[in-house]
Amino acid sequence: MPLALNQTVSLYWESTGEGAPVICVMGLGMNATGWWRTVPVLAAAGLRVLTFDNRGVGRSDRPTGPYTTALMADDAVAVLDAAGVERAHVYGISLGGMIAQEIALRHPDRVARLVLGATTPGGDRAVAADGPTLAFFHRRGQMPAEEAVWASVPYNYAARTRAEHGDRISQDIRQRLRFPIEPEPYAAQLAASLGHDAYDRLPLMPAPTLVVHGEEDVMVPPANGRLLAGLIPAARLIELRCAAHLYPTDEPDADREVAAFLTGNGTASAP
């Protein structure tokens, strides 16, 4: 089992495919299995895809908090080191997108291109989810694992997916339940996401950036994607119709657009 080490924390990672490397950083409470739809798409485009379990989840260590997105960014860089990669593309979703911002800002020499999916710049000027949505995600960490993932469905998926593609949701949930998160690390990751604030630093972002956001995202409202695209120099924005927070499931073409951006092919226009 490959492991990276950041100080005393061991981090599980995997590598798939060959070519220019891209490290994928997953969101709150999820681990490398959350990329199961994305990995084959990026690998087929000629990329070496690195995935890993953030601290607190999956096969990585579960240190006590507090966690910060800066600390978790350093975890990702430790994975690059373990994989022998000097410079990579970075693709983050949700909390992973916040971590990805910190990777690019703290370690600019390690980042080639950046994809920020379903995420936020953080801070007081970001657009928060509504009260009931925030309350649910505070409660979620105390729910039994299977109850939690099913209760999250209305927050994670678009209306069309829930109505017409329940099979996709079931497939995702089977992957998620392989390594369910526990209450304490969930709370530590949630605190990291709520404490994230890169707003004032984003105009200094050196990496070419693609921002991807679902128009139906209630967990991280799509106004945050527009904020990111407006703050980061020359960033490109894709807003996905009929897609919510877990847009790779709602809109399967989304990761093909990401692959086109990372490989320099295509226009990365909204599907």
User: Which of 9-23, 141-155, 188-202, 254-268 comes out lowest in average pLDDT?
Assistant: 254-268
Q: At what angle do helices 69-82 and 95-106 cross, to 10 degrees?
A: 70
Q: What is the mean pLDDT of residues 31-50?
A: 98
**pLDDT tier, 268 (very low <50, low <70, confident <90, very high otherwise):** very low
* More confidently predicted of 146 and 267: 146
Q: Is the pLDDT of residue 66 over 70?
A: yes
**In this model, does residue 267 exceed pLDDT 80?**
no
For 76-125, the pLDDT digits (tens) are 999 999 999 999 999 999 999 999 999 999 999 999 999 999 999 999 99
Confidence of residue 2 (pLDDT cuts 50, 70, 90): confident
Q: 181-227 pLDDT, tens per residue? A: 999 999 999 999 999 999 999 999 999 999 999 999 999 999 999 99
Q: What is the per-residue pLDDT across 143-153, written as a single tens digit (0 to 9) for each?
A: 999 999 999 99
Determine how β-strand 9-16 pairs with β-strand 47-52.
antiparallel
pLDDT at residue 271 tops 50: no
Predicted confidence (pLDDT) at residue 270 exceeds the cutoff of 60: no
Domains and CATH numbers, the chain: 3-263 (3.40.50.1820)
Give the global pTM.
0.96
Q: Are 161 and 249 in contact (CB under 8 A)?
A: yes
Measured distance CA(1)–CA(207) in Å, rounded = 32
Angstrom distance (rounded) from CA 211 to CA 144: 33
pLDDT recorded at residue 125: 97
What is the structure's pLDDT at 141?
86
Paired tokens of 54: 């953030």
pLDDT of residue 70: 98
pLDDT digits (tens, 9 = 90+) for 159-192: 999 999 999 999 999 999 999 999 999 999 999 9
Q: Alpha carbon of 257 to those of 5, 35, 191, 207, 253: distances in Å?
A: 32, 15, 31, 18, 6
Specify the pLDDT at position 242: 97
